[in-house]
Amino acid sequence: MQVANRLSTPPSLGRSDIYFLLNPLPADFLLYAMAKTDSQMVKRTISLYFTELKRIRVSLNGQDLRRLGFVPGPIYTEILQTVLQAKLEGKLVNRQEELDFVLKKYGPQQEDAEKRKVSLPKKKRVGEPSEKASGG
């Protein structure tokens, strides 16, 4: 049982380390591991995951990041994972702290987003003459 070994081997894991180690695993596997181990540390760690860590959620979402000026892409996953990590460690408590954290760590993106915008051609209205026909 590599998970039990990892949980019981120093150095002890932080709250976010525990979450990211255990979250991908099925609940029935974790409960089985908890029942089979003799280590009180492993039992306490898995219990902490179920009773506290598993419930922690980030308030921000992709729409919030877009409003902050971030261009959709892999950066969203990076930002939201970093926010979750900080929240698991108890560094962030509410939505405003999450927003402040993102702005401090990743900087305001509004100006950068404006620079990256590509201007799209205006849509022609029905019946509007083309530029060639109007001599423009």
Structure tokens at 15: 């709250």
Write b or e for each residue in 10-34: b if 16 or more Cβ atoms lie within 10 A of its Cβ, otherwise e.
eeebebbbbbbebeeeeeeebeebb
Angle formed by the axes of helices 74-88 and 15-22, to 10°? 120
Which pLDDT belongs to residue 115?
Answer: 44
Show Cβ contacts of residue 50 under 8 Å, excluding neighbours closer than 6 positions.
27, 30
Encode the chain (136 residues) as per-residue pLDDT tens digits. Answer: 577 777 776 667 899 999 999 999 999 999 999 999 999 999 999 999 999 999 999 999 999 999 999 999 999 999 999 999 999 999 999 999 999 999 999 987 654 444 434 333 344 444 444 444 445 4
Torsion sign, CA atoms 36, 41, 43, 46: negative
Q: Which residues have CB under 8 Å from 68's CB, separation 6+?
A: 99, 102, 103, 108, 109, 110
pTM recorded for the entire structure: 0.73
Q: Which residue has the tokens 């971030």?
A: 70
User: At residue 33, what are phi and psi to the nearest 5 degrees?
Assistant: -60, -40
Domain boundaries, the chain: 2-55, 62-109
Greatest CA separation for the chain: 86
Which pLDDT belongs to residue 113? 43
Residue 109: the pLDDT is 64
